[in-house]
């Protein structure tokens, strides 16, 4: 076998990835591998980091988690293919390396802790509806949040003037208003409140190739940020909607579902949103979240915008969306106008406006990456925000009127922060008999 010069990579991640050497390459293998070790800044091994290895030309990927020694090994690779390696771990900045060839020689990756979040020890929260069970040291305590039928649940994100998330506020720092009337907070929690998430992935024909590969690795990054009691359901949609996996806390099942995604057909966005809201009836936790990735406007739904608008208003879901568009579509839709062209009909609704509207209405956020920008940082950002939100319930005292949209306002004030920005759902549609 012809020998070639071998070189060595040493990877250090802070805000960006620095490449210090070239990657070793071995030819003449039917199957090859990528292996190595992941450590922190002090050289200590990081267990449980997710390492994704993506074929940059074919829509395929393999992944592995690091063991207690920080080691990983991904086998069954094509020795002549070019790969992209992505390393993610909750609480650390992400590492990404493109244009790599498989080799038998190990790589070393150092991850730096994510210090972008303002996080101090949270004050003691009010007792939940069912008390937490004491967990063994090093493990999260068991948690069950149950709310009365008449209670309203809010997921609340708080940022300071510079956009940093604030995670150390107390119950007394919040005021809740419904229809302008002050409400009494029944439950106040933070950090340890599990969520039920529908990962809603567009698999239409326009996602074929690298867009779907990006979507897969981004979804895997989101799963890597999940907590042990979080429940996730995976739903894909093209011109039809398919529940790939029902709600489960076994993330391996969701990951295998992500690997199975294939692109074909048109786009039925409204039908997919309708199905995702309906799925929340089977959700094991009362915090309901939809994380949506789509690359275009609705073309094939039987449901209409007005019906989905009303359905989301009547639900308690929080929608986070990531819109990925081809360059020409991006220029066409980024105007922000409700209709991207005349006449002002549903068929001409601006998809970027639609995603922003539903996100703002529900208390989520919409992201629109630039062409070629990696998607996984957006998914990781969403996951981190979800686990840093405040969770509040209240029992409305304002007069209830059937089919009326009740407005909700949340105010947060603390002497430690001169200005705080609060984001939660704008209200809910009361359709009770």
Sequence-separated contacts (24+) of 398-403 with Cβ below 8 Å = 398/178, 398/179, 398/180, 398/181, 398/183, 399/179, 400/430, 400/432, 401/430, 402/430, 402/431, 402/432, 402/433, 403/429, 403/430, 403/431
Residue 135 lies in a domain: no
Specify the CATH number for the domain of residue 18. Answer: 2.60.40.10
Does any domain span residue 133? no
Most confident region among 103-112, 370-379, 409-418 by mean pLDDT: 409-418
Structure tokens at 217: 């690795």
Q: Are residues 368 and 298 in the same domain?
A: yes
Say yes or no: 239 and 293 in one domain: yes
Q: Which two tokens stand for residue 199?
A: 């990962």
Do 350 and 301 have their domain in common?
yes
Nearest alpha carbon to residue 66 among 51, 77, 76: 51
What's the structural domain count of the chain? Answer: 3
* Mean pLDDT across the chain: 83
Query: Can you tell me the mean pLDDT for 60-76?
Result: 86
Q: How far apart are CA 160 and CA 163, in angstroms?
A: 5
What pTM was estimated for this model as a whole? 0.73
Q: Which helix (H) or strand (E) holds 61?
A: strand 61-65
Q: What are the pLDDT digits (tens) for 95-150? A: 888 788 888 788 999 988 865 444 433 333 334 333 333 344 444 444 456 565 58
Contact yes or no for 222/280 (Cβ under 8 A) = no
Asked if residue 292 is part of any domain, the answer here is yes
Shared-domain flag, residues 255 and 347: yes
5 part of a folded domain:
no
Question: Which residues constitute the domain of residue 203?
Answer: 196-386
Do 409 and 367 share a domain, yes or no? no
Q: Does residue 304 lie in a domain region?
A: yes
Cα radius of gyration (the chain)? 23
| 321 vs 323: CA distance, rounded Å | 6
pLDDT band at 399 (very low <50, low <70, confident <90, very high): low
């Amino acid at each position: 076998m012809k020998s070639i010069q071998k070189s060595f990579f040493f990877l250090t991640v802070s805000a960006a990835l620095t490449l210090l050497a070239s990657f070793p390459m071995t030819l003449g293998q039917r199957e090859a591998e990528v292996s190595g070790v992941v450590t922190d800044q002090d050289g200590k091994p990081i267990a449980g980091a997710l390492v994704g290895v993506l074929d940059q030309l074919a829509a395929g990927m393999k992944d592995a988690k690091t063991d207690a020694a920080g080691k990983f090994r991904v086998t069954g690779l094509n020795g002549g293919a070019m790969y992209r390696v992505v390393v993610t771990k909750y609480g650390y900045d992400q590492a990404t390396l493109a244009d790599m060839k498989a080799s038998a020689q190990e790589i070393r990756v150092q991850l730096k802790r994510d210090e972008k979040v303002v996080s101090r020890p949270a004050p003691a929260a009010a007792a939940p509806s069912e008390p937490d069970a004491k967990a063994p040291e090093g493990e999260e305590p068991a948690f069950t949040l149950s709310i009365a039928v008449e209670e309203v649940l809010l997921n609340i994100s708080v940022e300071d003037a510079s956009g940093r998330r604030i995670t150390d506020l107390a119950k007394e720092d919040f005021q809740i208003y419904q229809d302008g009337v002050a409400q009494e907070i029944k439950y106040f929690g933070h950090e340890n409140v599990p969520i039920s998430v529908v990962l809603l992935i567009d698999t239409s024909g326009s996602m074929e190739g690298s867009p779907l590969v990006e979507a897969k690795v981004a979804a895997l990054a989101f799963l890597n940020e999940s907590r042990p009691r979080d429940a996730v359901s995976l739903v894909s949609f093209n011109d039809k909607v398919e529940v790939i996996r029902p709600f489960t806390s076994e993330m391996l099942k969701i990951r295998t579902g992500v690997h199975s995604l294939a692109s074909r057909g048109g786009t039925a966005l409204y039908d997919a949103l309708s199905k995702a809201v309906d799925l929340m009836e089977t959700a094991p936790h009362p915090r309901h979240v939809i994380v949506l990735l789509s690359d275009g406007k609705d073309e094939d739904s039987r449901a209409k915008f007005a019906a989905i608008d009303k359905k989301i208003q009547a639900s308690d879901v929080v929608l986070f969306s990531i819109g990925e568009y081809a360059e020409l579509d991006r220029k066409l839709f980024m105007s922000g106008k409700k209709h991207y062209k005349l006449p002002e009909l549903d068929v001409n609704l601006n998809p970027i406006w639609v995603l922003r509207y539903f996100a703002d209405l529900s208390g989520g956020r919409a992201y629109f990456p630039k062409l070629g920008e990696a998607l996984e940082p957006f998914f990781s950002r969403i996951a981190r925000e979800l686990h840093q939100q405040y969770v509040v319930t209240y029992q409305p005292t304002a007069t209830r009127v059937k089919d009326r949209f009740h407005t909700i306002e949340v105010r947060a004030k603390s002497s430690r922060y001169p200005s705080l920005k609060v984001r939660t759902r704008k209200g809910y549609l009361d359709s009770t008999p």
